[in-house]
Amino acid sequence: MGKRDTLRFYLNGHLHQVSPASVTQTVLEYLREHLRLTGTKEGCAEGDCGACTVTEASLAGNGQVAYSAVNACIRFLPTLDGKAIWTVEALSGANGLLHPVQQAMIDHHGSQCGFCTPGFVMSMYTMYQKGLRAPTREQVLEHLSGNLCRCTGYRPIIDAAQNMGSYPIAGADHDLVRRQLETLSAQCRDTLELETPGQHYIAPTTTFELAGLLQDNPHAILLAGGTDAGLWVTKQLKKLDSIIYLGNVAELTHIQRVAGQLKIGAAVLLNDGYEAIAAEYPEATELWKRFASMPIRNAGTLVGNVANGSPIGDSAPFLIAIGAHVVLRKGGHSRILALEDLYLDYRKQDRAPGEFIEALLVPLRIPGMQVATYKLSKRFDQDISAVCSAYALKLENGKVASLRIAHGGMAATARRALHTEQALLGRHWQEAPVRLGMVAMPQDYQPMTDMRASSAYRLKAAQNLLYRFYLESTGGVRTRV
Amino acid sequence: MHDRSHQTVGRSIAHESAPLHVSGTALYTDDIPETHGTLHAAFGLSERAHARISLMNLDAVRKAPGVVAVITLADVPGQKYLGPFLNDEPVFADGVTEYLGQPLFAVAAISRDLARRAVKLASVDYDDLDRTLTVQEAAAREHYVLPPVRIRRGDIHAVLAQAPQRHQGEVRCGGQEQFYLEGQIAYAVPGENHEMHVHCSTQHPSEMQFMVAHVLQQPAHTVNVECRRMGGGFGGKESQSWPCATVAALLARRTGKPVKLRLDRDDDFLMTGKRHDFRSLYDVAYTDDGQILGIVFEHQLRCGYSADLSGPVADRQIFHTDNTYYLDTFDILSLRLKTNTQSNTAFRGFGGPQGILAIEYVIDDIAIRLGKDPLDVRKLNFYGRAERNVTPYAMTVEDNVIHELVDQLEASSDYRLRRAGIEQFNRGSRIVKKGLALVPVKFGISFTATHLNQAGALLHIYTDGSVLINHGGTEMGQGLNTKVAQVVAEELGLDIARVRVSAADTSKVSNTSATAASSGTDLNGKAAQDAAQKVKNALVAYAADHYGVAPSEVNFRSDRVFCGDKAMLDFAEFVQQAYNARVPLWSSGFYRTPKIHYDFKTLTGRPFYYFVYCAACSEVMIDTLTGESRLLRADILYDAGRSLNPAVDRGQIEGGFIQGAGWLTTEELWWDDAGRLMTHAPSTYKIPSISDCPPILNVQFFDNGNAEDNLHRSKAVGEPPLPAAISVLLAIRDAIRATAGPGVIPTLNAPATPERILEALASVSGSSAADARSAEESATQAGASVHETGEVVAGPVSSYE
């Protein structure tokens, strides 16, 4: 297979062929500093404020165009290869007529200082392109969860978003976009390889190629959504010298049902992966909606979150509780490991150099299994958990036949509460034994104090969340605000 | 509309920049096309909170790729110490670092990325000095940036000694980062003969002009500072835009090139000051009904390492310690504490919210002690109209509408019905509890420093009939330019499309005050109106003379000029005629606020032209297992006088309210033991996001013209909505109280994060009667007993990331 040294993407309808100055140049830098397209703003350079939001399109598995809002500030330019993006400059027509989302923002007084506004407009435009022209309040909150506004208090923005469909419809030529993306896709079939001073970037197209590259260069950064790696560059000013990008490996973007499990490939986006999990476990839906923000979930991958192995990465506790496994691959060799066994200590994993997580194996629901996962943070949307807990319980004759409890934010890794589980195993699922379980929990965890919460709060809240799970599993008591 | 004769004033006209905002074409400082050869700067920051710098080796920085210049304090040709109040802040650390994040040096390089990378190469050795980080430490050590201030009336000792009821308490409340979406930035472009043109995101162009002139040791007339708009300010760009403005100018002078200095968000958090966090101790005497007889306050305000604006902020805390309540006998002490942290500064409300919060806690405590509805205790203490109407600073409250306003909100929010409903809900709900609070606000409008209450404007009418205005205020999103354009359009009878307000510019309007203290529209609107009236008077005189009509017969309306029955001309045609007749078509305008005076030594006088009144009723729900809370509904009634623009005003009310709710719930500043601010980015510092907007948010205007002759009888709207969000905090406290026995006061400090709420629940658990104890309280206690034996164990990492 041949190789390419130029990336190709559409920006505001125009084809760009680029050899970037640095392979870690961000999309935002390219827009603002190279093209002087200054409508897209930098508010935080870490994907938390949304002032840099742009709309991305790619071809979905069904051949249709899939639109999503993403953060330009932490997105490396080469990862746009084969995609199309739009910035705020593209929205108003040549005649100066504003797009309905723009007019709605004006008519509902949705801008004050205006700095966050292009980001909001692009998140709303993405909804519009997805066909959400008259969204419910819940849909608006979900899609705008990654955009911060310090001026308005959001009410007029919610009104604008809910009313953007009341204007004459702005047609979009989805077919043209699809044809452009199909043409690009044909042109981008080969491996993209970029060299910039002191840096190397390669985007293999098969798992076999990927495995070989990583085996030859075990210290390369494995890049997927870049929602964490982007910050290494924008905040820590690290120079990433060797990057292997996963996003072009088509096999890794699949979700399959095999042998009583969901097999979620390493390049499956958080939103897609969570959707599949929530279809099986609706109890995970709230966690999904509160996992980072919409633009982060549109860019980051589920396996990336698992592989990152943060002590508070919110997917791990639930996946551990329901008994998920990972498929590890090194060269031509694969092995399967229980997720909980992957995490050895703070940022230490049972993963050899050159070995990578090829897929996540999520067991299908076992009849009679009760599950729950809870997230505690200072803010409801887009916050990092102080504590994240998950439970998988099976009762027989009113007694605990099996119970798996896992927490994030309580230790140096996401970890099971083995003493707590043991204290409850075989006992009646009733108030008094549950309290015994709560009392056992300090044997499992000695959490730390940091800016998110104190050790004492984390422990007490984790104990109380077990009580919440007990109350919810037995029903009848309202437990959530 | 309140007045049919008005064409644009009073209408909900969209923000003048809204079409630019939504299309991404509004230019912020970083968007201005860069002049060829522009360099980019970055600061090197202190890594220690308080230390002597024993060695600072910048060789590696100077040799780093792309670096063009490196400067330290020694390279400042002019004044090395600056400050808005005292010159107590060195441009760069002067041998000793006073906080972690203080600038040590700065670099200019050919790109921002290279400048940021270069500053990391500095080699700095520190000898640590004893550091003071918290309010408690600073109060114990009597570390002050400014001397304590005390005001007293009556014999407080006698009142306390003889009181039927007496209560002592304490409240602690955290600070707040402004979190303007656009960070601090300046772009300095050198010109001929030492001229320096600085584009700066600042609320105070004149102060930036003078500070740049001072560091360069040049006359002010060589320095021009311009600000078209800010991406938010909230007080954070009132004084603390100076490090970027001065250092960009210093580097531009040094290199002869244009220099842009834009802070990374993390550096912005680490360098710049925030809202003052504080602790207030109180001792209150009151009647059996709950009327306050006398009160002692000690306000301990954390100012950070320098004075900055802390003096006037602390003064305003005193000025708002009464809120809407008459305090007969009092002794209020204000401590301005020095700590080795960022220098706290202006933030929307400017000490006012801190004063209001303190007295509202006292009222809440009294109500809990007496088992009364807090609203009844509030009403009992309201300022009277003819009596009990003199403030602690000896100003008579002449425009009091708080009784009617609160009565109206009490009715429109269904306060009493919902109070009963919530009690019923709480009886039937074991885990989640609801709470309700209605909090009034009285907010004094004017700069407390009397001389700042002046403004200028410059108005041009061009012969095509278009109008351009400059004024001394800055646009930070609050709609100031929209309102000023409305006022001028009204004066000249023009459609607002003919009127444009352009950038704040020190070469057009000089010696301006900061756009702050909610006064931007009052001052600059009046100045612009004055300019418009002056030009209009000249035009009227011309028309009366030319057409032979009485001046009173010359009217400007609907883009036309009516000269009695003699003539009706299009405005453009008319001004062209006037130009040909050599009538001046431009004028300056000026305004000074009448009636105000104030003795800053005794803190007495009339510091405020008038008061804004408002009130908010908030309903929340809390989870007693986790401490999570949610704002369910807020009703706000606001006295905007005759609103100049209800849509803009509503935006300020809602935005200020939600911002205040953030201050008191999710926004937590957290320093580690070394004095490093660990919540230094939106990943860790959580301002309200879209789900924090309550599903029910009712905003109404109270029908009330300004008793004073303010601009079209309007009232200010910038700051007063923010402290209305104290209702959210007190509603949370009310929900916590629902778990406690009678008379038990929850210890709830702000911000009311889930952790603080759970602590507050623990502070009252066990207080209810044993037979009423519910299962979840036992569960909470099980947790509590474990928690007491649990040690805080430091993990292997500095935080879970």
> DSSP secondary structure string, B704-731?
---SS--GGGB---SSTTTGGGHHHHHH
Q: Do B798 and A450 touch (CB under 8 A)?
A: yes
Closest residue by Cα to residue B377 from B357, B395, B355, B362: B362
Which tokens sit at B572? Answer: 């453009």
In this predicted structure, what is the pLDDT of residue B504?
98
In this predicted structure, what is the pLDDT of residue B765?
87
Closest residue by Cα to residue A304 from A262, A358, A258: A358
Which tokens sit at A355? Answer: 């070995």
Q: Do A481 and B681 touch (CB under 8 A)?
A: no
Q: How far is CA B673 from CA B48, B276, B341, B798, in A?
A: 11, 19, 12, 12
- Indicate whether A121 and A241 sit together in one domain: no
B24 — contact with chain A (CB < 8 Å)? yes
- Indicate whether A82 and A107 sit together in one domain: no
Q: How far is CA B350 from CA B178, B309, B345, B346, B773, in A?
A: 12, 9, 8, 5, 43
Closest residue by Cα to residue A235 from B101, B267, B47: B267
- Indicate whether A399 and A308 sit together in one domain: yes
Interface contacts (A, B; CB < 8 Å): 338
Q: Do B691 and A147 touch (CB under 8 A)?
A: no
Q: Is residue A481 part of a domain?
A: no
Give the burial string for A13-40 (b: 16+ CB within 10 Å, else e): eeebebebebbbbbbbbbbbbeeebbbb
Domain CATH number, residue A470: 3.30.390.50
Domain CATH number, residue A60: 3.10.20.30
Distance, in Å, from the CA atom of B123 to the CA atom of B140, rounded to the nearest integer, reads 35
- Indicate whether A78 and A105 sit together in one domain: no
User: Looking at beta carbons, which residues of chain A come within 8 Å of B425?
Assistant: none
Mean pLDDT, to the nearest integer, of B182-201? 98
- Indicate whether A235 and A261 sit together in one domain: no
Q: Which domain holds residue A372?
A: 254-474
Chain B residue closest in CA terms to A151:
B655
Q: Is residue A94 part of a domain?
A: no
In single-letter form, the type of residue at position B448 comes to T
The answer to whether A221 and A242 have CB atoms below 8 angstroms apart is: yes
- Indicate whether A341 and A274 sit together in one domain: yes
The answer to whether A445 and A415 have CB atoms below 8 angstroms apart is: yes
Q: Is residue A95 part of a domain?
A: no
Distance, in Å, from the CA atom of A268 to the CA atom of B669, rounded to the nearest integer, reads 36
Distance, in Å, from the CA atom of B736 to the CA atom of B234, rounded to the nearest integer, reads 31
- Indicate whether A186 and A153 sit together in one domain: no
CB atoms within 10 A of CB B289: 14
Distance, in Å, from the CA atom of B297 to the CA atom of B285, rounded to the nearest integer, reads 12
Q: Is residue A441 part of a domain?
A: yes
Which tokens sit at B79? Answer: 């004044």
- DSSP code of residue A190: S
B20 — contact with chain A (CB < 8 Å)? yes
Q: Is the pLDDT of residue B174 over 90?
A: yes
List the beta bridge partners of residue B226: B199, B505
Which residues fall within 8 angstroms of residue B509, CB to CB, at 6 or more apart?
Answer: B456, B457, B458, B470, B471, B472
Q: Which of residues 760-789 of B touch A (CB under 8 A)?
A: 775-776, 778-780, 782-784, 786-787, 789
Instruction: Name the residue facing B655 among A145, A153, A454 (closest C-beta).
Output: A153
Which residues fall within 8 angstroms of residue B316, CB to CB, at 6 or more apart?
Answer: B350, B351, B352, B355, B444, B448
CA of A309 vs chain B CAs: smallest distance (Å): 9
Q: How many residues does chain A have?
A: 481
In single-letter form, the type of residue at position A115 comes to F
B403 — contact with chain A (CB < 8 Å)? no
Distance, in Å, from the CA atom of B494 to the CA atom of B481, rounded to the nearest integer, reads 16
Distance, in Å, from the CA atom of B161 to the CA atom of B155, rounded to the nearest integer, reads 10
Instruction: Name the residue facing B626 among A101, A447, A465 (closest C-beta).
Output: A465
Q: How many residues does chain B have?
A: 801
User: Looking at beta carbons, which residues of chain B come within 8 Å of A158?
Assistant: 690, 693
Q: How far is CA B310 from CA A175, B82, B334, B636, in A?
A: 60, 15, 11, 30
Closest residue by Cα to residue B440 from B612, B614, B664, B699: B614
Average per-residue pLDDT in chain B?
94
Cα–chain center distance at B465? 38
Q: Do A43 and B651 touch (CB under 8 A)?
A: no
Q: Is the pLDDT of residue B781 over 50?
A: no
Domain CATH number, residue A118: 1.10.150.120
In this predicted structure, what is the pLDDT of residue A68?
98
The answer to whether A413 and A177 have CB atoms below 8 angstroms apart is: no
- DSSP code of residue A428: B
Distance, in Å, from the CA atom of B567 to the CA atom of A426, rounded to the nearest integer, reads 99
Mean pLDDT, to the nearest integer, of B683-697? 98
Cα angle B676-B677-B681, degrees, rounded to a multiple of 5: 135
Q: Is the pLDDT of residue B4 over 80?
A: no
- Indicate whether A275 and A206 sit together in one domain: no
B719 is catalytic: yes
Instruction: Name the residue facing A468 among B116, B625, B697 (closest C-beta).
Output: B625
Which residues fall within 8 angstroms of residue B578, CB to CB, at 6 or more apart?
Answer: B538, B539, B542, B543, B585
Which residues fall within 8 angstroms of residue B557, CB to CB, at 6 or more apart?
Answer: B7, B493
ipTM: 0.97
The residue among A101, A383, A451 with the most chain B CBs within 10 A of its CB, best to mutate, is A451
From A136, A166, A196, give the residue that closes a domain. Answer: A166
Least confident of A151-155, A187-191, B195-199, B271-275: A187-191
**Backbone φ/ψ region at A33: left (φ over 0), alpha (ψ -120 to 50), beta:** alpha
- DSSP code of residue B382: B
Domains of chain B plus CATH, in order, are 18-25+454-592 (3.30.365.10), 34-130+178-271 (3.90.1170.50), 351-365+372-444+601-783 (3.30.365.10)
Q: Is residue A397 part of a domain?
A: yes
- Indicate whether A304 and A388 sit together in one domain: yes
B797 — contact with chain A (CB < 8 Å)? yes
Q: Is the pLDDT of residue B370 over 60?
A: yes
Instruction: State the DSSP string of B405-419.
Output: HHHHHHHHTTHHHHH
Dihedral of the CA atoms A90, A91, A92, A93 (nearest 10)? 70
Closest residue by Cα to residue A237 from B262, B117, B106: B117
CB atoms within 10 A of CB B673: 8
Per-residue pLDDT tens, chain A, 481 aa: give them: 568 899 999 999 999 999 999 999 999 999 999 999 999 999 999 999 999 999 999 998 888 999 999 999 999 999 999 999 999 999 987 788 999 999 999 999 999 999 999 999 999 999 999 999 999 999 999 999 999 999 999 999 999 999 999 999 988 789 999 999 999 999 888 999 999 999 999 999 999 999 999 999 999 999 999 999 999 999 999 999 999 999 999 999 999 999 899 999 999 999 999 999 999 999 999 999 999 999 999 999 999 999 999 998 899 999 999 999 999 999 999 999 999 999 999 989 999 999 999 999 999 999 999 999 999 999 999 999 999 999 999 999 999 999 999 999 999 999 999 999 999 999 999 999 999 999 999 999 999 999 999 999 999 999 999 999 999 999 889 999 9
Cα–chain center distance at A232? 17
- Indicate whether A17 and A132 sit together in one domain: no
User: Is residue B692 helix, strand or coil?
Assistant: helix
User: Looking at beta carbons, which residues of chain B come within 8 Å of A380?
Assistant: 630, 689, 691-692
In this predicted structure, what is the pLDDT of residue B785?
35
pLDDT tens per residue across span B516-547: 999 999 999 999 999 999 999 999 999 999 99
Q: Do A40 and B655 touch (CB under 8 A)?
A: no
- Indicate whether A354 and A221 sit together in one domain: no
The answer to whether B471 and B205 have CB atoms below 8 angstroms apart is: no
CB atoms within 10 A of CB B37: 10
- Helix H segments across A57-164? 100-107, 117-129, 137-143, 155-163
Q: Do B786 and A459 touch (CB under 8 A)?
A: yes
Distance, in Å, from the CA atom of A160 to the CA atom of B91, rounded to the nearest integer, reads 45
Closest residue by Cα to residue B761 from B775, B747, B773: B747
CA of B640 vs chain A CAs: smallest distance (Å): 17
Closest residue by Cα to residue B782 from A459, A375, A421: A459
Q: Is the pLDDT of residue B436 over 70?
A: yes
Mean pLDDT, to the nearest integer, of B384-406? 97
From A118, A149, A166, give the residue that closes a domain. Answer: A166
Instruction: Name the residue facing B432 among A106, A381, A480 (closest C-beta).
Output: A480
Give the burial string for B444-456 (b: 16+ CB within 10 Å, else e): bbbbbbbebbbbb
Q: Is residue A414 part of a domain?
A: yes
Of B16, B226, B719, B777, the active-site residue reads B719
User: Looking at beta carbons, which residues of chain B come within 8 Å of A21?
Assistant: none
Q: Is residue A309 part of a domain?
A: yes
In this predicted structure, what is the pLDDT of residue A189?
87
| Residue with token string 């020694």 | B74
Element (H, E) at B377: helix B374-381
Q: Do A235 and B479 touch (CB under 8 A)?
A: no
Q: Is the pLDDT of residue B202 over 60?
A: yes
Chain A residue closest in CA terms to B778:
A435
CA of A110 vs chain B CAs: smallest distance (Å): 8
Q: Is residue A479 part of a domain?
A: no
pLDDT bin (cut points 50, 70, 90) of residue B800 is: low
- Indicate whether A259 and A341 sit together in one domain: yes
pLDDT bin (cut points 50, 70, 90) of residue B799 is: low
Q: Is the pLDDT of residue B772 over 60?
A: no
Instruction: Name the residue facing A448 among B683, B787, B794 (closest C-beta).
Output: B794
Main-chain dihedrals φ then ψ at residue B149, nearest 5 degrees: -125, 140
Q: Do B783 and A150 touch (CB under 8 A)?
A: no
From A149, A166, A183, give the residue that closes a domain. Answer: A166
Number of domains in chain A: 3
User: Looking at beta carbons, which residues of chain B come within 8 Å of A457?
Assistant: 627, 754-755, 758-759
pTM: 0.96
Mean pLDDT, to the nearest integer, of B781-787? 35
